[in-house]
Amino acid sequence: MIRARIIGTGSYVPKKVLTNHDLEKMVDTSDAWIMERTGIKERRIVDKGQCTSDLAFEAGRKALKAAGLGAEDLDLIIVATTTPDMVMPNTGCMLQEKLGAKKAAAFDVYAACSGFIYGLSIANAFIKSETYTNILLVGAEVLSRFTDWEDRATCVIFGDGAGAVVLQRHAGKRGVLSTHLHSDGTLGELLKVPGGGALHPPTHDTVEKRMHYIRMKGNETFKVAVRALEDVVQEALEHNKVKPEEIDWLVPHQANLRIIQAMAQRLKMPMERVVVTIHKYGNTSAATIPMALDEAVRDGRIRENQLLLFEAFGGGLTWASALVRW
């Protein structure tokens, strides 16, 4: 059977570290309050002049090196992001130019925190249909530029970073076994950036009303996320006739440590089998899963033939899962 197999991973975070103690000087919050509610200790912030395609380039370059491929070998580039460098051209095309991947098609996937798994599903379909052989999939975000640093409910959560994987056509049992995508637009108001699009284009009024920043109804989002993730994880297990105890690693979206712990508990998985990076990087949206994956691959936790479960939930609302045989 033809499968899309991940043959290389890479990640990149900016150098600047913003700690909870730094945030104590900016808004009415505390390290204890943030840790208790999110599990986040610090996050990374881009330097002036750095943008999403820069982060994507660094992560993509590392993934290509790990895969033993050059940019000229790529057939397609997919960038999952909600913080593109600009409206047009897409960030995928900007990454293509920076990498020098002259023969690769390129586009963006816009599914918030679920974007990496949405992109994985698309890449898997292209490879299984034998349309493409080598695909670079990157999750990259510069959320600090869309964060309201006066809103303590959201500014403590988000960070900047990028993670990448190279997928290649593979005949065998290893690779992406299945992906499962869902959305519910009726709940879009729970998590949004209202300004900057065609509905509310940038004006003095939208800027004054702070419409270009992330707005989130945290408690409601948390409740929906736990239920949705439980369902989509169960869907992946049932589809593949796999029991929770057969999963070697849970690689979840790093939104909130309590959500991660809740999912591990429902799967009866010890936290030692869950890849957690939220304490170091916060929520980097579409970048969290590939960043966590790269870390666990490079430190030797993830090994050949192990079974990995990805799950994510984000704005839209969107949620997704994937099962991968490493």
Q: Which of 173, 200, 229 is the last residue of a domain?
A: 173
Q: For residue 191, what pLDDT band results from cuts at 50, 70 and 90? A: confident
Q: Are residues 217 and 103 in the same domain?
A: no
| Torsion angle of the four alpha carbons 76, 79, 80, 86, in this order, in degrees rounded to the nearest 10 | -140
Domains of the chain: total: 2
Q: Which of 173, 204, 235 is the last residue of a domain?
A: 173
Check residue 33 and give left, alpha or beta (phi > 0: left; psi -120 to 50: alpha): alpha
Active-site residue identified among 124, 155, 180, 253: 253
Q: Are residues 49 and 28 in the same domain?
A: yes
Q: How far apart are CA 37 and CA 39, in angstroms?
A: 6
Helix (H, G, I), strand (E, B) or coil at 131: coil
Q: Are residues 142 and 181 in the same domain?
A: no
> What are the two backbone dihedrals, phi and then psi, of residue 110, each rounded to the nearest 5 degrees?
-120, 75
Q: Are residues 92 and 146 in the same domain?
A: yes
Tell me: the pLDDT tens digits for 297-315?
Answer: 999 999 999 999 999 999 9
Structural domain range at position 119: 2-173
| 77-81, 83-87, 92-96, 262-266, range with the lowest pLDDT | 262-266
In sequence order, the β-bridge partners of residue 109 are 80
The answer to whether the CB of 163 falls within 8 A of the CB of 189 is: no
Is 93 designated active site? no
Mean pLDDT value of segment 16-25: 95
Q: Residue 94 belongs to a domain with what CATH number?
A: 3.40.47.10
Active-site residue identified among 93, 113, 134, 256: 113
Q: Are residues 145 and 233 in the same domain?
A: no
Is 253 designated active site? yes
Q: Are residues 138 and 187 in the same domain?
A: no
Tokens representing 320 are 């997704």
Q: For residue 78, what pLDDT band results from cuts at 50, 70 and 90? A: very high
Q: Are residues 44 and 10 in the same domain?
A: yes
Q: Are residues 127 and 109 in the same domain?
A: yes
The side-by-side arrangement of strands in the sheet containing 2-12 is 2-12, 160-171, 134-142, 76-80, 105-109
Q: Are residues 206 and 224 in the same domain?
A: yes
Q: Which of 150, 173, 196 is the last residue of a domain?
A: 173
Q: Are residues 20 and 162 in the same domain?
A: yes
Beta strand pairing call for 215-216 and 191-192: antiparallel
Give kind and range of the element (H or E) at residue 163: strand 160-171
Give 30-57 as a DSSP string: -HHHHHHHH---EEEEPPTT--HHHHHH
Q: Are residues 242 and 272 in the same domain?
A: yes
Q: For residue 65, what pLDDT band results from cuts at 50, 70 and 90? A: very high
Q: For residue 114, what pLDDT band results from cuts at 50, 70 and 90? A: very high
Mean pLDDT (the chain, rounded): 95
Q: Are residues 164 and 25 in the same domain?
A: yes
For residue 249, is pLDDT > 90? Answer: yes
Is 113 designated active site? yes
Q: How far apart are CA 192 and CA 199, in angstroms?
A: 13
Tell me: the pLDDT tens digits for 21-38?
Answer: 999 999 989 999 899 989
Tell me the CA distances in angstroms from 319 to 36, 105, 180, 236, one per residue in order: 25, 26, 8, 12
